[in-house]
Each structure stands twice: as C-alpha cells, then as structure tokens.
A and B are shown apart, each in its own frame.
Chain A
Amino acid sequence: MQVRFWGTRGSLPTSTGGASIREKIRQALRQADGRRWETDEQLEAFIDDALAFPVRNGYGGDTSCVQIASRREPTLLDMGSGLRRFGQQVMETPDQDRPTTFHFFMSHLHWDHIMGFPFFPPAYLPGNTIHIYGGHPENVLREAFLRQQSTPCFPVHWDQLGASIRFTRLETDRWHRINGFAVKLLRQAHHGGSFGYRIEKDGKALVYSTDSEHKQQDDTETEATVSFYREADLVIFDAMYSLADMITVKEDWGHSSNIVGADLCLRANVKHYCMFHHEPAYDDATLYEILQETRRYAEIVGEGKSLEISTAYDDMVLRL
C-alpha cells in the first residue's frame, strides 16, 4: 500500500509567506557558511543532509486530501484544496492512461474537506464517473457539494459538471468492498459528525481519522477508537492542537492533540502514527518542533514500545 498526501493543513489553506521563506534562506546560508559545490549533485546532497526539514522543505498549506495508490481507478480521502494538484496530475497524464473513474471517501463535509472539488478538472469531463462515499446520508452529501457550486459561492454550477457523480452512504459497523479495498467506518466526535476510515488491502491496514475530538471522557468511545486503530500500519490522525489548547480554550472545537494521538496509537499497537490536519497558525519550524516533542512524549510513555511518528506534509509519500 502506498499513500500520497496532496493536502495536510487543517481548516484553511495557508501559504508559507515571505517572512518564513526569508528565514529559511537565512538559515540555509548560515549553514552553508561560504561553502562551494563543484557539482549540482553535491549541492543537492548538502541540501538533503545538512539542512533540517523546515529549512529545506516545509509542510505545505493545502487542506486535507490523501491518495491511496490503486491500480486503475484512483482512490482518495477528502477533497481539500490539495485535490487541485492531484487533478492537474490527472490532466497531465497521456490520454490512453488517464483514469476516468474516481473513488472519494469523505470524512465529512466541512468546507476545508470539499473545497478542492470545483478545481478538479476531471469533474468537468463528460464520460468520467466520480463516486463519492461517506458516512452521512446521501442527501446530506449531495447538498454540501451542490451548495458549494451555486450562486453566490462559485460561478460554475453543479449541473454544469460533465462527469457522472454518484453519492453512496456507507454504513458503519460492517466492511465494504470498494475498488479492491476493504473499508470500514467509525463515527467520530465532530460538529455534524465525521467518519474515520480503516482501509485494508494485501495484509496492510491504514486508518484515516481526521476531524475528530478524542476527549477520553467516555471509556466506550475511547475503546472503540483503540480497537478501530488496532495493529494498523498507519494512522493518519487529527493532531491539530496541543493538549492544553484542546481541553481548554478549544474544547468542543472538534479536534485532537498530538499526544492524545500518541496515547491512542500506543495503546492500539499501531506501527506508524502520522500527524495531520495542521493548525493554520503554525509555521514549519513550529510543526517540526511539535514532531520532536511528540516523539519524545511517546518515548517517555511508550515504555519500550516502538511507534514511528511523522508529521504529514504536502507531497509526502509513505509506503506501508
């Protein structure tokens, strides 16, 4: 199984911004310290080896959109602004290889998870089929997309799209077979409800669990989450806030924290915990620092258990 992140930011797209770029340049130059490189390869190697991730790269600013590699028909989770770049890639694919059927699993219908759709060119092409699955009722799913593409929000209306678009509600508590994947849903605590997905194929399991507030207040709910995550190879988790924020000023905002994610993944014997849905106010340096801290936290409370921890960034690819 291979996973590609097209968008990882929470709530609203962000840009790196001039000040932050300038800071990266400043740090890179200081690190280079007058060094010279004979070849481009040497320069590339310097960038990769000597510069820290937030200096040489960044987490990106597109909102939630994750692709799971599948054979012919692409499979994606959510349609945040990251979907635009995926659509671009599809359109750059030579005609004979270009997919015509797409499968989307929707966590929920908040704006940051559907905003990429009007900018997804395959939706405009007659002959294409787009399956949109979710835990919400079909009319609720449809309504959200319809409203987004109607006056005054967007000039191109829903009924002007060329593709055939099908909405399907997926029940929780049973496995579904879709596009070669075994798929199960878990209802999560979030405004209007959201759904986590456990997706399995070839003996590998991925959990996509974003926009979910794990209060750990109700044991039944916590246990349900732990068993949903159990032994997963990868858990993509809404780690938007610090724990203190999550349970004080941002209580009931519908998101979780980096260390709650670590605790749940440790309890569930997860292999790889991937933090996702980043707070728009956090810059690259902050997100990088949070990653170090979360690793340290898991080391302290993990008591010898091994848990790989990463922070998702736009264009990151993971192989399970």
Chain B
Amino acid sequence: MAQMQRPAVAVHLDDLLRFASELAEREGFAPDRVRDVELAVEESLVNILTYAYPNRTGFVEVHREFDGRSLRVSVVDNGVPFDPLSVPVTGLTVDTARRGVGGLGILLVRRLADHVAYRRQEGANVLTLTFDRPPPTRTGDPVHPIRDDIMETQFQRIENTTLLAVKGRVDHKTAKAFEEVLKNTLDEASADGSPVLVLDLSGLEYMTSAGLRVLMIAAKTCTSRQQKLAVAALQPAIQEIFRISRFDLVLPVYPTVADALKALSPDAAVRWRE
C-alpha cells in the first residue's frame, strides 16, 4: 500500500486527492468514477482540515491500494476522535449532496463510495473508502473503431513480489502510459518494501524501441533501489526483439512467470496460481 503524508492545510488538498484518484485512473476506472473518487476523498479531507486540528496544525495521510477488484483509499489523521459514520443519513440524494458540497460532505462520501469504514486506531482516525471497479463492459458496437493504442496492465501482489501483467501494444503511442504505470508500481512496491517486480509479458503483442526504453528506465530505478526486475513469458516475436535490441543481455528473461518467481522469490512461487 502506498501512502502520502502532508500537513493538514488546504494547499495540499489537490496533491492528496490526486494521489488517490490517479490510482483509480491507472486501474481503468471510468472517468465518471474517477471523479467520484476525487470528490469523496476531497470531502473526507475537507472534513479533517476543518475539524480535526482545532488548536494546531497536524498531518493527514492518504493511503491507496488496488487489489485487482477494488480501490481502497484510507484517509488518516491523529486529531480529535470523530466517527463520521455516526452521522445519520436521511433523505439525501447524490444530486442534492453535490450542490451542497461542504456541509453534507460525509453523507456524500457514503453515497459515492461502495463501502465506507471508520476505525480509531492508535490515536488516529482511519476512514477507509472502497470503490469497486465494475467489470469491463463489452460492447459489440460496430461504429467503435479498432484501436491500435491499447495497452493494459494488471497488478498482483504475492508475498514480497509484485506481478504486473502487460497486455497489448507498447509503442510510441502507449509508451508514456506504460512508463507511468511502471513508475507508480515501482514506487508502491518500494513503499511497501516489496523488492521483486516480475513483468508477465505473455499478453504483450507488440513492442518497439519506445517501449524497451521504458523497461530500461524501470531497470535502472530498480538497480538504484536494490529492487529486482525480471520479465517473463515473452511471445516469440517479443523474444526476437529482445535479442535484436540486446535487451536479453541487460534484463533477466524467464520462459514463464513460474520460472521467474522460482528464481527471484521462492515464497511467491509457492503461493502463485496461474
């Protein structure tokens, strides 16, 4: 789980809520839903900024985590104990709440998130908002053009290992997005003390030098942080590209994800199921 801590003052609001919504965006939440995440987190933060520290400036933290199905965002402060869920919900609709942002904040949060939980823990208020990612809608819409700029990633944490499945095409059109995903994944892995990152490339169909460059940046980051990066399960064409670019000499390449885990993290290898 990655986290961001800032002084509980309004200037940091944007940073903090973007920290949460960015993960939603990256994990493929619809734009409307990403805005819901932002709005809910914003309301939670405004609440803290307004009430948690009446006599001093304290800190506020946002923790974020995606488990493959749901995004969990926790907003943490160690100010005055307050359970926002103790406020009763009556006659509130999301629309009226949107108009009344501020006063109805916490009620709005309960409407926007799929699940809200509060706990007081070690002198801190911890409000956890869960947003479920709906399954991707399959539309057979014939007017929808065939897209060649599709790159998808799927994230999984197994013991000390982060497994990132990369699918589709990584070229000059998608390299920036790929770079961002890899960077964030590595940052999170680093924050969580997860020293091993394995890229499952079995779904990667196409990659040019623009994508290879991103892999190299990730490899350099890993080296500087003493994390281990490996790629696994390359399709034959991608394997050839690795050989031609000499990337097979600078990145550890394994025939299967299982082989990579076995070599880099025996614990994860035991727990991993294909």
* A contact set with B: CB distance below 8 Å: 215-217, 219, 222, 242-245, 247-248, 257, 259-260, 262-263, 267, 293-294, 296-297, 300-301
Contacts and interface: CB of A to CB of B under 8 A. Distances in A.
Contacts of B244: 259, 293-294, 296-297
Nearest to A215: B213
A248 B213 CA distance: 10
Given A259-B245, A263-B172, A263-B210, 10 more contacts: A216-B172, A242-B245, A243-B247, A248-B220, A257-B209, A259-B241, A263-B209, A297-B240, A300-B240, A301-B206
A245 B172 contact: no
A247 B210 contact: no
B240 A243 contact: no
B218 to A, nearest CB: 12
A244 B249 contact: yes
B30 interface: no
Contacts of B172: 216, 222, 263, 267
Contacts of A257: 209, 245
Interface string B202-243: 000011111011001000100000000000000001001101
Contacts of B176: 219
B250 interface: yes
A308 B176 CA distance: 29
A248 B250 contact: yes
B208 A243 contact: no
Interface string B150-173: 000000000000000000000110
B148 to A, nearest CB: 9
B216 A248 contact: yes
Contacts of B212: 243, 247, 259
A217 B206 CA distance: 19
Interface string B8-41: 0000000000000000000000000000000000
Contacts, number: 62
B186 to A, nearest CB: 17
B211 to A, nearest CB: 10
B175 interface: yes
Nearest to B248: A244
Contacts of A247: 212-213, 216
B144 interface: no
B209 A260 contact: yes
Given A263-B172, A267-B172, A245 B210 contact: no
Contacts of B240: 296-297, 300
Nearest to B237: A300
A243 B175 contact: no
B273 interface: no
Contact of A245 (B175, B243, B246): B246
A300 B209 CA distance: 12
9 contacts: A215-B213, A216-B175, A219-B176, A243-B246, A243-B247, A244-B216, A247-B216, A257-B209, A301-B207
Contact of A301 (B175, B208, B213, B246): B208
Given A248-B216, A267-B172, A296-B240, A216 B210 contact: yes
A297 B245 CA distance: 9
B222 to A, nearest CB: 13
Contact of B241 (A217, A222, A301): A301
Given A300-B237, A301-B241, A216 B216 contact: no
A267 B171 CA distance: 11
4 closest A-B pairs by beta carbon, nearest first, are A244-B246, A243-B245, A242-B246, A293-B244
Contacts of A248: 216, 220, 250
A248 B247 CA distance: 10
A243 B209 contact: yes
A215 B179 CA distance: 14
Contacts of A262: 209
A247 B217 CA distance: 9
Interface hub of A215, A243, A248, A257 (most chain B Cβ within 10 A): A243
A296 B212 CA distance: 17
Nearest to B214: A216
Contacts of A297: 240-241, 244-245
A316 to B, nearest CB: 23
A240 to B, nearest CB: 13
A217, A242, A244, A245: most-surrounded residue (chain B CB, <10 A): A244
B209 A216 contact: yes
B213 A263 contact: no
Contacts of A267: 172
A288 to B, nearest CB: 14
A247 B207 CA distance: 16
B135 to A, nearest CB: 31
